């Protein structure tokens, strides 16, 4: 039912939400990757980095640098 309503699984939706929060934290705070991983529900920063890179196509650090330089306009 969830997938019919939202177009993705509940786990996929949760991961997407957590990564969107991480996008904001990377752009607007000075928190380190371990702090961001913990704040967004990832137990290990290595797993956070792996998931972020797989979904965003760049590392969290690359994302932080580009979002601060050019602004972040993801839909």
Q: State the pTM of this model.
A: 0.84
Question: CB-based contacts of 37: which residues, under 8 Å, 6+ apart?
Answer: 43, 44, 45, 47, 48, 49
Q: What confidence score (pLDDT) does residue 75 get? A: 45
State mean pLDDT over 46-58. 97
The per-residue pLDDT for range 5-33, each reduced to its tens digit, is: 989 999 999 999 999 999 999 999 999 99
Quote the CA–CA distance of 35 and 32 in Å, as a whole number: 5
Q: What is the CATH number of domain 11-70?
A: 1.10.10.60
Q: Are 61 and 32 in contact (CB under 8 A)?
A: no
Q: What confidence score (pLDDT) does residue 68 get? A: 81
State mean pLDDT over 46-52. 98
């Amino acid at each position: 039912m969830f997938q019919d309503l939202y177009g993705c699984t509940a786990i996929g939706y949760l991961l997407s939400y957590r990564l969107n929060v991480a996008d904001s934290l990377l752009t607007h705070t000075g928190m380190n990757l371990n702090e961001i991983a913990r704040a967004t529900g990832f137990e290990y920063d290595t797993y956070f980095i792996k998931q972020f890179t797989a979904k965003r196509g760049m590392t969290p650090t690359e994302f932080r640098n580009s979002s601060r330089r050019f602004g972040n306009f993801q839909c």
